[in-house]
Amino acid sequence: MREQTLILNSIPVDELTGSIATPIYQTSTFVQDAPGVHKGYDYSRSNNPTRKVLEDCIAALENGHAGFAFASGLAAIDSVVKLLEAGDEIIAVDDIYGGAFRLFTHVYQKFGIKINYVDSTNAQNVANAVTDKTKLIWIESPTNPTLKVSDIRTIAKTAKENNILLCVDNTFASPVSQKPIDLGADIVIHSATKYIAGHSDLIAGLVVTSTQELSEKIKFIQNASGAILGPFDSWLVIRGIETLTLRVKQHAENAQKIAEFLQEEKLIKNVYYPGLKTHHNHEIAKSQQKYFGGVIAFDLVIDDKELASQIVSGTKLFKLAESLGGIKSLCCLPCEMTHKSIPAEKRYSSGVTDSLIRLSVGLEDADDLIDDLKQAIATAVKANADKASVTA
């Protein structure tokens, strides 16, 4: 079955009533026929029929064994870390999502879990970092905000050979573009807040497991820790997923056009987008992604925070806000917003300079988005004409 058909076909018609739309079972508990005799549902933390539709759908989309819906992407990540024990080690991509960095370093380290951050864009670095304590490899591809791409197939081989779990944060690619389990990963997580729900109207997370054993463990943790997604938000995510293929295709088509435009701009130094031939791992991205996503980052020839700040404040269609993956275009200045808590030196070494701008390209017409960027850049340049390198 093709992707968009698979999505719609995996969201069933309600058996009880024939409702074509998934009913919202907004209930905490379920009446039992006799003690312990029920219709498969007893309490909504353990199981809820609306949440189950979403969980089955994401499992089908990621070619996994089971899916689990959480109250946020970070709650999803948290459930995977809870598979570990004190003394275990995680190897994680150094350009990791800030919230995951905070959780690993500032919450789990004090419980005796060690984290080793490596540049996984070279798969050999991951192999070199393996010790007999390593229990989990944590990859994001592409990463936030500089769109670094790691070779999931090769890293999966290293994980298998050493009996280590590989978890891929697939938020930026979406399951429409990239299927980590097919590439050898054991677990996939999503911030469904982004492309999967797609409308910037909720916070949600998903976990997909590849084996029955992992499914049972995550199910246990989900119920034991309790950070489940509520029925109404589950329904909104289902509503979003129904158009995922169409949105992801259009986000990527728009982003490609905009990235190519940005490459021609004199004021711009680096453009980071996996769909550009100049991207350092373009060939690997091509081998594992069907589309290149909707996020672009770029920095300026003069690394001036003020100038960059004026550009992101001067756009009209690109709204200045954190987050990404929604239908409306957003822009942000990571050094002052999403990446402010990261020490400047570490930030710089991962490419997040003072002038780095991140775009989440939405579904407006690409030419209007390009015009918007053109006017914002021109206005900012005019205002900074006294700075020699801006006019040069």
Residues marked active site are found at: 45, 97, 169, 194
Shortest approach of ligand PLP to residue 73 CB, angstroms?
Answer: 2
Cβ contacts of 270-279, under 8 Å, gap ≥ 24: 270/298, 270/299, 270/351, 271/296, 271/297, 271/298, 272/145, 272/146, 272/147, 272/296, 272/297, 272/298, 272/351, 273/147, 273/297, 274/142, 274/147, 274/149, 279/147, 279/149
Instruction: Report yes or no: 222 and 77 within 8 Å, Cβ to Cβ.
Output: no
Shortest approach of ligand PLP to residue 98 CB, angstroms?
Answer: 9
Residue 200 binds to ligand PLP (criterion: CB under 6 A) = no
Shortest approach of ligand PLP to residue 345 CB, angstroms?
Answer: 22
Handedness of CA 291, 297, 300, 303 (dihedral sign): negative
Half-sphere exposure (Cβ direction) of 357: Cα atoms closer than 13 Å: 34
Residue 203 binds to ligand PLP (criterion: CB under 6 A) = yes
Q: Which stretch binds ligand PLP (CB under 6 A): 32-40, 66-74, 79-87, 239-247?
A: 66-74
37 contact partners, CB below 8 Å, separation of at least 6: none
Residue 140 binds to ligand PLP (criterion: CB under 6 A) = yes
Separation in Å, CA 97 to CA 93, 141, 219, 307, 326? 9, 11, 24, 25, 18
Output 159 or 168, the one with its CB closest to ligand PLP.
Answer: 168
Q: Which stretch binds ligand PLP (CB under 6 A): 17-25, 123-131, 187-195, 341-349?
A: 187-195
Shortest approach of ligand PLP to residue 382 CB, angstroms?
Answer: 34
Give the three-class secondary structure for 114: strand
Residue 99 binds to ligand PLP (criterion: CB under 6 A) = yes
Residue 144 binds to ligand PLP (criterion: CB under 6 A) = yes
Q: Which stretch binds ligand PLP (CB under 6 A): 83-91, 167-175, 179-187, 303-311?
A: 167-175
List phi, psi (to 5°) of 229: -85, 135
Residue 72 binds to ligand PLP (criterion: CB under 6 A) = yes
**Gap between the Cα atoms of 358 and 255, Å rounded:** 12
Shortest approach of ligand PLP to residue 46 CB, angstroms?
Answer: 22
Residue 97 binds to ligand PLP (criterion: CB under 6 A) = yes
Site for ligand PLP in 278-297 (CB under 6 A): none
Packing angle, helices 73-81 and 212-225, rounded to 10: 120
Residue 81 binds to ligand PLP (criterion: CB under 6 A) = no
Q: Which stretch binds ligand PLP (CB under 6 A): 53-61, 95-103, 218-226, 249-257?
A: 95-103
List phi, psi (to 5°) of 86: -55, 135
Instruction: Report yes or no: 192 and 74 within 8 Å, Cβ to Cβ.
Output: no
Packing angle, helices 305-314 and 366-383, rounded to 10: 140
- Identified binder of ligand PLP from the candidate list 22, 79, 120, 193, rule CB under 6 A: 193
Site for ligand PLP in 205-224 (CB under 6 A): 205
21 contact partners, CB below 8 Å, separation of at least 6: none
Q: Which stretch binds ligand PLP (CB under 6 A): 101-109, 189-197, 215-223, 341-349?
A: 189-197
Output 172 or 318, the one with its CB closest to ligand PLP.
Answer: 172
Output 231 or 293, the one with its CB closest to ligand PLP.
Answer: 293
- Binding residues vs ligand PLP (CB under 6 A): 72-74, 97, 99-100, 140, 144, 169, 171-172, 191, 193-194, 203, 205
